[in-house]
Structure 1
Amino acid sequence: MEPQWLEALRASAQLAPARPRWPLLVGDAVIGSVEPDFLSQIRLQPMADGRERLSKTEHLGNPVWRLIGEPTAALGALALALHDAGLAHAWRNEQLAVADAQGQRIGTIERAVVRVLGITTAAVHLIGQAEDGRFWVQQRAWTKSNDPGMWDTLMGGMISGADTLASALARETWEEAGLRLEELRNIVRGGHVDIRRPCDDGHGAGYVIERIDWYHCTVPDGQMPVNQDGEVEQFVLMDESEMLETMHAGAFTSEAALIQAAFLDVGSGTSSRT
């Protein structure tokens, strides 16, 4: 029987938008979604030929917002306009990939606006166990804009527009935990978790769509995680029962709890492990 807390957590990770959303297109490619009047709060400079760069229109008989121009440049102008209007999240100067409905990459955009624009993002997490079976977990820095002070997997981070899944795994493991993949043992892909839920970005107009691929490894004795980028408050070792109690108490991020529950095969056995 799946624990009630885990059932509720799984349900909270699969929620429909709080309000209707219109598709957001770059040219004819659907790349996200926005609430119907959200983009009415900004205005972009017209194209050189006088055409509006951003407009309400129709696509396949349905109302949409359409952005025109070279995708990365047009998305950059949109991101800056949202930032200037106070509708962006914390600005990171980090570009994330933007794909069409078929998953083909068409450009990049600043991370701060992906959620208000309903753009699908990708992330990677790493579960790390010591040789005695305990789990290395991190407490997120209190200065983090998302989930400050909460507990997380050994490493978790978004996949930037400059990364592949493999390079993001290596880069984030070093930046967050000061560990090189070649120093770790038995690195295996565990599976993935999909998140779809409303969020507070853009004064409550955001919607998260994210795929999180997760891996598991053994951290050999003598190897200690040491944060390199200032985004981790501390690392500690938790045994399985302590980690489950902390997850039950809601002190782990929802993503980390879902990933760790999948690894431990908690509950009914419906697991993200593949």
Structure 2
Amino acid sequence: MNAVVRSPSLAQWLAGARQLAHQPPRQPRQPLVVAGQVVGTVAEGFLSQIGLQRLLDKRYKLSNSEHAGDAAWCLEGLAEASPGAITDALNTLAEALRDQGLCGPWRNEQLAVTNPRGEVVGTVERGAVRVLGIASRAVHLVGLTPDGRMWVQKRSMTKPNNPGQWDTLMGGMVSAADSLPQALARETWEEAGLHVNTLADVVHGGHVLFSRPSSEGGGAGYMVERIDWFRAQVPEGAEPRNQDGEVDEFALRSTEVVREHLVQERFTLEAGLVIAAHWGL
């Protein structure tokens, strides 16, 4: 491994980054149960802030009761425990949270909702996943040139999270409508204007896990996320061009410069840990 990558300052940054990636909730959380299945967690008392009439209008009932012997928030009143019914119930709850200003940025994008066995039981609006402690998935792409330099992007200053920070060539959520390869292809085009089939040596490198408090919902959110990351070689002469307005610029950086920017915390935490994994750290 290059001595630059093994530097003491990078090792110190990496230890701190890994600690930040796995932090306990700031306040006690209770399971969120829908149709008898645990799908997330919510801060104690958090759901007491929403107007319950919005749920009752659709015949759903939200109660702070018991599940498996522990206190839990239970969303009841579903006609059946089908994915469609669970999706409608969770999105009704998400809309009530939005109306009270208690969720993250509304994206009109559905993310998959899973039970403790990892089975998809429904979907929910992306803006509600962190306040409801619902696990999400993301995908990142480490883009390299033939001479070993790395393509990185500077996030738009209008991004709700980490504006102006550096990121991998591409990073985005896996929507409920996408498989992992589909998310990789879609996000690579939207963020970098590149078609995956034009890249060389595309490989799945591994994954990075996060469980940490989120500022969404007035600090009552909790992020539970798996980032699957890929690496690929961008052909010489090909340059990324953003398509969705979420990137301010792209740049080619040497390993030394990337290391310096990591230590200076100029990269997002997610991108930093993906790059470290790419380096085998």
Alignment TM-score, normalising by the size of structure 1: 0.94
Q: Name 2:19's counterpart in structure 1.
A: 11
CA distance in 2, matches of 1:188, 1:262: 13
* Residues 92, 52 of structure 1: alpha-carbon distance in 2 compared, 3 angstrom cutoff: closer
Q: State the shift of 1:265 in Å.
A: 2.4
Task: Structure 2: state its 5+ residue gaps.
Answer: 1-7, 79-84
Report how many aligned residue pairs link the two structures: 264
The letter of the residue matching 1:173 is T
Which is further off, 179-188 or 65-74? Answer: 65-74
Q: Name 1:46's counterpart in structure 2.
A: 56
- Matched residue of 2:56: which SS? coil
Equivalent residue runs for 1:67-106 within 5 Å: 67-68=75-76, 69=78, 70-106=85-121
Identity %: 51
The letter of the residue matching 2:280 is D
Work out whether 1:252 is the aligned partner of 2:249: no
Q: Is the 8 A contact 1:131 1:219 kept in 2?
A: yes
Q: Name 1:32's counterpart in structure 2.
A: 40
Q: Is the 8 A contact 1:24 1:65 kept in 2?
A: yes
Q: Is the 8 A contact 2:42 2:131 kept in 1?
A: yes
Give a deviation string over 1:179-218, Cα, whole Å, max 9, x none. Answer: 0011100001111000000011000100000000000000
Work out whether 1:135 is the aligned partner of 2:145: no
Work out whether 1:21 is the aligned partner of 2:29: yes
Q: Is the 8 A contact 1:47 1:53 kept in 2?
A: no
Equivalent residue runs for 1:233-244 within 5 Å: 233-244=248-259
Work out whether 1:187 is the aligned partner of 2:202: yes
- Matched residue of 1:3: which SS? helix
Q: Is the 8 A contact 2:55 2:93 kept in 1?
A: no
The letter of the residue matching 2:11 is P
Q: State the shift of 1:57 in Å.
A: 1.1
Q: Is the 8 A contact 1:127 1:135 kept in 2?
A: yes
Q: State the shift of 1:45 in Å.
A: 3.1
* Residues 58, 264 of structure 1: alpha-carbon distance in 2 compared, 3 angstrom cutoff: same
Q: State the shift of 1:26 in Å.
A: 0.6
* Residues 126, 52 of structure 1: alpha-carbon distance in 2 compared, 3 angstrom cutoff: closer
CA distance in 2, matches of 1:194, 1:97: 17
Q: Is the 8 A contact 2:102 2:216 kept in 1?
A: yes
Give a deviation string over 1:40-86, Cα, whole Å, max 9, x none. Answer: 111133277xx652111111111100112220110110010000000
